[in-house]
A and B are shown apart, each in its own frame.
Chain A
Amino acid sequence: MVRRYLKKEGDRLLGEILNTYYLQIGSFILINIMLAISVYVPLSSGQLSLGSAGFMGVGAYTSALLTLHFDLPIVVGIIAGALVASILGVIVGIPALRLSGVYLAIATLGLGEVIRVIFVNWDSLTKGSVGLTGIPQLGREILEFARGLGFEPSMIGIKNNQFVFLSIFLVLLILVIAILWFVVRQQNSRVGRALSSINMDDRAAESMGINITYYKVVSFTQGAFFAGLAGALFAHVIGFISPADFAYHRAVEVLIFTVFGGSEVIVGSVFGAFFLTLMPEVLRFVSEFRYIIYGIILVLLMAIRPQGIIDTNLLKIFKFKRSKGGVR
């Protein structure tokens, strides 16, 4: 009796946790983390790029069009989307990186707008401002693939719908972990030291034998790649895209993730994307006031903690506690 009750209760809890609404928010958080990293990486070499929305759009449209018109597998589309965005990153990066600071920010913001206007006006290909619909959905493809192998979601006691959202969430989670792994490993290496030395003093970095143009283009292109990847995934998670998804408010939103969370450390970007994606959902109970609260939090933060929530000092406190006052 008790056992059966526990089993039933367990299933109910699983059903609760695998609530498709939660899973979808989780997926948006993960995509936004990718976007925040796409701002963080160029910033780690001192490049303030607002091109993320544009590169995201390029990735999304590339993958959507390839899978819609050429019936290519989603995986191929996503990889192509990320690659096309990074190629554009190299092409734009080489001339644009002569600029720095605010000037680079404005130039990349302009780039994003140019890309958006192309999406709006290239009607025959992009269907203009209406956008593309019926883009193959990542979760459904995974479900079909799993069924081909003789697997049914009911075998592990979840509904098809839950499986679809769960598989998307897991794919995104794996990708985010892989990206974090990549960026952290790169940071703790010769390449990472070169990037942060350029950030701290580019002239001194150049005197130390660092080809600053090369490293700036590398970090800018990596940012474009991550943004393109996030965009392609976005297209296949949502199923429909329009130029408005990649407009300038998106660029600013992504920048806020990184600045809010703290742009000195990668944990900051991750936290910023997590917190700011979740907050409007949590604040749903105050309905129309939620964006006011969102705005007030941003203003307060910038006044009190301009370096963002998480900075190197905060991390040091945690590290210090963990090593119980150890040497490092």
Chain B
Amino acid sequence: MVLEVKNITKNFGGISALKNVSFSINKGEIFGLIGPNGAGKTTMFNMITNIFEPTSGEIIFKGENITGIKPYKITEKGICRTYQNIRLFSQMSTLHNVMVGGHSQSHAGVFSSVFRTRAQRKEEQLLIEKAEELLDLVGLLEHKDTIAENLAYGQQRRLEIARALASNPSLLLLDEPAAGMNEKETDSLYDLIKTVQSRGITVLIIEHDMPLVMKLCDRITVLNFGEKLAEGTPEEIQNNEAVIEAYLGKEEEEVNA
């Protein structure tokens, strides 16, 4: 098991964004987190990466309790994420964005950076090679010198994935990676996530594009109003009465007919 989420509850003031949610993710699988808007999916990501601390509950990563440790340390341990509303370093080049992603994989401090020690130059070269390899993977190598904010929307989403991969994660969290993408872009996103999986990286994905989720995920957890509604394989989820009701409400009979 890579990640265990145990009884996570998060209250914002009087409102519960998450109520006693638990699930666990096996190594190498693509795990979907779905649910209507406001179900608490992104809040769950913020709990795992500790942008907010949970009110109660525990998050266990590779057998270690990581609840409440600093976000940058969580990245060092091997969890990296993308954001629903793209958060690139907009004034930096595409290549440098990915190189920042490699921060936790490198060590040069102020002294070695200024004096360009042999170790620093070697490390910098490796960072560039790694970044270029990842840009190639997401199909952005030809845009490596482009300033990130000048990239097309779909390209920015792919760059965010490359940047997260540069931290060499064992668990990758993707927050609505297909949002705003056309069919063609979504198809290549599917291929990309499958490639990521084939590299031995476990993926936790929030996504609203149901055909993509059903095609991509090995298992899915459904959240609704902060509570876990169902968990299972894509087929099980598609046929789950409670899920259909949560998504489609009263029109359920029409769909079933």
Task: Report 20 cross-chain contacts, Cβ distance below 8 Å, ordered by A residue.
Answer: A185-B115, A189-B113, A189-B114, A189-B124, A190-B99, A190-B103, A190-B108, A191-B110, A193-B92, A196-B92, A200-B90, A201-B87, A201-B90, A203-B87, A207-B71, A207-B75, A208-B101, A209-B104, A210-B100, A210-B104
Q: A208-B104, A209-B103 are in contact. Are A186 and B110 (CB under 8 A)?
A: yes
The binding surface of chain A is classed by DSSP as: helix
- Whether B81 lies near A207 (C-beta < 8 A) is yes
Chain B residue nearest in CB terms to A187: B113
3 closest pairs, A vs B, by CB?
Answer: A209-B104, A189-B113, A209-B75
Interface residues of B in 90-145 (CB under 8 A from A): 90-92, 96, 99-101, 103-104, 106, 108-110, 113-116, 120, 123-124, 127, 145
* Contact of A186 with B75 at beta-carbon distance under 8 Å, contacts A201-B87, A208-B103 already known: no
Known: A206-B72, A210-B72. A200 touches B113 (CB 8 A): no
Which of A185, A194, A205, A209 has the most chain B CB atoms inside 10 A of its CB?
A209
- Number of B residues with CB within 8 Å of any CB on chain A: 38
Known interface pairs A200-B90, A200-B91, A207-B71. Does A190 touch B116 (Cβ–Cβ under 8 Å)?
Answer: no
Residues on the B chain within 8 Å of A194, using CB: 100, 103
**Given A185-B113, A190-B124, A192-B113, A209:B167 Cβ within 8 A:** yes
State whether the Cβ of A160 lies closer than 8 Å to any Cβ in chain B. Answer: no
Q: Which residues of B contact A211 (CB under 8 A)?
A: 70, 72
Q: Residues of A contacting B108 with CB < 8 Å?
A: 189-191
Residue of chain B at shortest CB distance from A190: B108
Residues of A within 8 A of B103 (CB): 190, 193-194, 208-210
B51 contacts the other chain (Cβ, under 8 Å)? yes
A328 CB-CB contact with B under 8 Å: yes
Query: For B87, what are the chain A residues with a Cβ–Cβ distance below 8 Å?
Result: 201, 203-204, 207
Contact A204 B83 (CB under 8 A): yes
Which residues of the partner chain B approach A196 to less than 8 Å between Cβ atoms?
A: 89, 91-92
Other-chain contact of A193, B76, B81, B96, B110 (Cβ < 8 Å): B96
Q: Determine whether the beta carbon of A204 is less than 8 Å from that of B80.
A: no
Please determine whether B127 and A190 come into contact, CB atoms closer than 8 angstroms.
Answer: yes
Residue among A189, A204, A212 with the highest chain B CB neighbour number at 10 A:
A204
Cα distance, A207 to B71, chains bound together (Å) = 6
A194 and chain B: residue at smallest CB distance: B103
Give the complex CA separation of A182 and B114 in angstroms: 6
Which residues on B sit within 8 Å (CB–CB) of A212?
72
User: 1/0 per position for A156-191, CB-CB distance to B under 8 A?
Assistant: 000000000000000000000000001001100111
The proximity string for B residues 22-33 relative to A, scoring 1 for CB distances below 8 Å and 0 otherwise, is 000000000000
Q: Does B170 contact A (CB under 8 A)?
A: no
The answer to whether A200 and B92 touch (CB under 8 A), given A185-B116, A206-B72, is yes
Q: Which residue of B lies closest to A212 (CB)?
A: B72
Residues of B contacting A182 in the complex (Cβ-Cβ under 8 angstroms): 114
* Chain A: minimal CB distance from B43 (Å): 15
Q: Is residue B151 contacting chain A, with contact meaning CB distance below 8 A?
A: no
| B88 in the interface (beta carbon within 8 A) | yes
Assess whether A247 is interfacial by the CB under 8 Å rule.
Answer: no
Tell yes or no: B163 within 8 A of A by CB. Answer: yes
Report how far A219 CA is from B167 CA in the complex, Å. Answer: 24
Complex Cα–Cα for A20 and B243 (A): 84
Tell me, in angstroms, the Cα distance from A193 to B123 when the chains sit together: 14
- Docked Cα-Cα span, A210 to B102, in Å, equals 10
- The answer to whether B9 has its CB under 8 Å from any CB of chain A is no
Whether B202 sits at the interface, judged by CB under 8 Å, is no
Question: Is B49 engaged at the interface, CB distance under 8 Å to the other chain?
Answer: yes
Residue of A nearest to B115 (CB): A185
A191 CA / B108 CA spacing, docked (Å):
7
- The distance in angstroms between the C-alpha atoms of A328 and B87, with both chains bound, is 25
A residues 196-248 near B (Cβ < 8 Å) are: 196-197, 200-201, 203-212, 218
The distance from the CB of A195 to the nearest CB of chain B, in whole angstroms, is: 10
Task: Report chain A residues within 8 Å CB of B100.
Answer: 193-194, 197, 205, 208, 210
**Is the CB–CB distance between B120 and A189 below 8 Å?**
yes
CB nearest to A312 among chain B residues = B91
Task: Give the Cβ gap from B51 to chain A, nearest Cβ, in Å.
Answer: 7
Hey, which chain A residues are within 8 Å of B164, CB to CB? 208
CB-defined contacts of B91 to chain A, threshold 8 Å:
196, 200, 312
